[in-house]
Every structure is written in C-alpha cells, then in structure tokens.
A and B are shown apart, each in its own frame.
Chain A
Amino acid sequence: MLEASNLECVRGERSLFAGVSFRLEEGEMLHIQGKNGSGKTSLLRMICGLSPPASGELRWHGTPLHQLGEAYRAQLCYLGHHNAIKDELTPIENLLSSARLAREALDDDAALDALELVGLGGREDLPCRYLSQGQKRRAALARLVHERRALWILDEPYVALDRAAVGLVAGLVGAHLQRGGLAVLTTHQAVAVPAGTVHELWLGSHDAPESGQQAT
C-alpha cells in the first residue's frame, strides 16, 4: 500500500505542485496526468525516493519512505524517461545485466522469451545502437515481462512505441495489477489497462469536470 499526503514539489523558486495526496492499494494503478512541465516526472522521482518532497510524506505499508531505504528499493521497479539501455551492449546483455544488478534470478532462456515477447526476437545479439528508438524502448520494457516486484513506476512507457507494443505493455501492467501489484504511470495517451482499478490524478489545472488534485 502506497500513501501520499500533501506532497509539495519545489523547483528553484517555483512550486510545481502542492497538496497532492493519494492512496493506492494492491491491484490498483495511479494514472498521473498533467500538462508538460506540471511535475509528473518530479512526482514519480519522489515516489521512487530519488528526490525528497519539499513537504508532505510518502508511506509504503504505513512506514515513511525515508526510513525504508533498501527494503523499499527491493520492491520497486522504475522505468524512467531514459531507457537505461547501453548502446554498446546487445538487448539480451542489457536485460541480463539489469536483472543481475536488481538481484533477480533471470536465466538466458527467460531473457530470450522476454525479448521474443516484446518483438525483438532475432535481434537479441545486435548492439543496441543499431536499434530504432521504438526498439530501444521495447528492449527497456522487456524488463517488465519477468518483473515481480510489487510497485511499478513507469514514466511515459508508451512513448515511441507502435500500437501493438502499446497494447502489449498495457497487458503487462494489467497482469501485474491482477497479481496484486501496484503501478504508477504517466502518459498522455488514453490506453485502457485490461485489469485492475485505475485512479486518475491531475497535476495543475485542467478542463475535465472532476478538477482537483485529490485521487481517491
């Protein structure tokens, strides 16, 4: 269970957002929306623990994040703006090395399966610098196929992907929610996730009728 109360983010002199609160239970997803520059990525980095909130508090199963450290990071899978893909390595090397660093047991066959599933079958031995932007994104998203950590935090996961891949990622997120996982993601695309409850959170002002920064 992930809870946030009255989060505030300050960048320089400017307050990006304030009073952001939400509560996320097992099997639920938080969809963060907002204009460019409204602080979506900042909020995600806050939830990861990469940057502390200017005020307010985040709690994981009731314990404040700053007291958890490694125990929380072991539950967390973050996919940021950047793909965290090494251009010199092949997709399968990228996948295996990121799994090793996350202390996950991933064997070659499982990694090959994952790459096959995201449509990189036959390209697993090609250095990533020869891949297109969308293929690199797919290589990064291949991590999610065997990912069993409880909290997924995805920053614009659908960027650069074609329609089939978007459906695939939505399916992976849906399966994750069905297993009782939690997910937080930002996207500008309206993509239906096949399972789980979706909460919407708007940062800043917007035109939709249910305006406000409270997600329930």
Chain B
Amino acid sequence: MLGVVQAIIGRDLRLAMRRQTDLAAMLFFFIIVVSLFPLGVGPEPEQLRRLAPGVLWVAALLATMLSLPRLFADDHRDGTLEQLTLAPEPLGLIVLGKVIAHWLVAGLPLVVLSPVLGVQFDLEVDALSILTLSLLVGTPALSGIGAIGAALTLGVRGGGVLLSLLVLPLYIPILIFGAGAVDATLTGLGPEAHLSLLGAIALGGVFFAPWAAAAALRIALE
C-alpha cells in the first residue's frame, strides 16, 4: 500500500531535481514578491511588522499557484497519467504521493525561506518562529486542495486562469488562520487556536483531497 506512495514520491522528486528551473522560478517569484513590499510601503518598522504575515502568506499562495498547473499536466501529456490510473492501486494513494512530493518540492522551500524573508519586516524571533510554523502546518493544505483544482482543470484550455479562480477562494481560510496566527502572537493573544484550526484544515486537505482529485482525474481521462 505505502510502497506505491513511496514510489511516486521518489519518482516525482527525481523529476523535480532534473528540472530545477521550475523550482528556481517559483522560489525567486516568492522572494521578489515578498521583498518588493518593504520597498514599496516604506521603512517604518511598525507598519512592516503589521504587514508581514499577510504579505508572506499571500506570496506563498501565489507561488504555490505557479507550480500547480504542472502537477498533473506533464504526466497527462506523455501518457504516464493513464498508466498511473491503470496501476493496481487506488488512484487516491497515487495522488497522495504526488501531493506529498509537490509539498516537498514547492511547499517546504517556502517554509525554509520565510524566516529569512521575515527579517526584512523587522519581525521578532517569536513572531518569526510562529510564521514559519504556520507555513509549515498550512502549506501541505495548499498542495492538497490545489491538487483538486489541478485535476479539475486538466486538459482545459486556459486552465491556468481557471485554476486560480477555482483554488484561490478555497485558500482563504488557510490564509486567514495562517496570517492570523502571527497577528495573534504580535498582539499577545497566543497563536494556539489559529494553529490548531490550520492543522485541522491541513489534515483534512492532505487526506481527503487526494480522493476528490482522483475522482476528477478519472473524469478528465474518460
């Protein structure tokens, strides 16, 4: 059962390592979007501190959107997706493997970069660590829910725009609780409530979304 998840993760990671330009483009996008804000808004530390959680989270959502269209499109184009659908394993597990691999390639680097970028906004150490923690908990949900959108728009012309329209509204709760956790720390309320809700969304997203995405993929391949 888990062998197939491992096999998919291994394959997708290897493919991502052979195609590093995609990864680099996404990370640079994230870095540049986040870095433009202090330049545009001005250097008042108080204002920057208030903006930081929202800016980093919105940039993370947009950077994830950049990588989503290719989640299934490459496999679809070269016929691999048909083979995956015909594998003697539940398609949901295969999609789960792809979601985990997507998070490792597109989500985890954002988490790792965020404390460095947060320094630009004059965030304190505790706010920085909560920001990183909220991204660590929340980004798996971005990959999971994004997989549903990527599967639904597979093979649709202009699918990229449609994918954003479909997925970004679904990301709103993640954005609210993710940025809210840091805000709560800054105002001294404590981030626990936000983080638990974020964790619940992430668990739901990672474990239920693959089955929904699998159903959408079967329809797309018919």
Say what secondary structure dominates the interface of chain B. Answer: helix
- Name the interface residues of A76-99: CB closer than 8 Å to any CB of B: 76, 78, 80-89, 93, 97-98
Q: Does B84 lie within 8 Å of A101, measured CB to CB?
A: yes
Which chain A residue shows the least CB distance to B7?
Answer: A100
Residue A103 is within 8 A (CB to CB) of chain B in the complex: yes
Docked CA distance A50–B83 (Å): 10
Residues of B within 8 A of A87 (CB): 78
- Distance from A54 Cβ to chain B, minimum over Cβ atoms (Å): 11
Is A182 part of the binding interface, using a Cβ–Cβ cutoff of 8 Å?
no
Residues of A within 8 A of B14 (CB): 88-89, 93
Identity of the chain B residue whose Cβ is nearest the Cβ of A99 in the assembled complex = B7
Bound form: Cα–Cα A183–B131 in Å: 57
Tally of contact residues, A, Cβ under 8 A: 29
B78 x A84 contact (CB < 8 A)? yes
Given contacts A80-B82, A86-B11, A89-B15, 11 further A-B contacts (CB under 8 A): A50-B82, A50-B86, A51-B221, A70-B88, A81-B79, A83-B79, A84-B78, A89-B18, A97-B7, A101-B8, A102-B87
Q: List 20 A-B contacts (CB under 8 A).
A: A50-B85, A51-B221, A52-B222, A78-B82, A78-B86, A82-B79, A83-B79, A84-B78, A86-B15, A88-B14, A89-B18, A100-B3, A100-B7, A101-B4, A101-B7, A101-B89, A102-B87, A102-B88, A103-B87, A127-B18
Identify the 10 closest CB pairs spanning chains A and B, nearest first. A82-B79, A74-B88, A88-B18, A84-B79, A100-B7, A51-B222, A73-B88, A84-B83, A84-B80, A97-B11
Task: Tell me the A residues contacting B by CB distance below 8 Å.
Answer: 48-52, 70-71, 73-74, 76, 78, 80-89, 93, 97-98, 100-103, 127
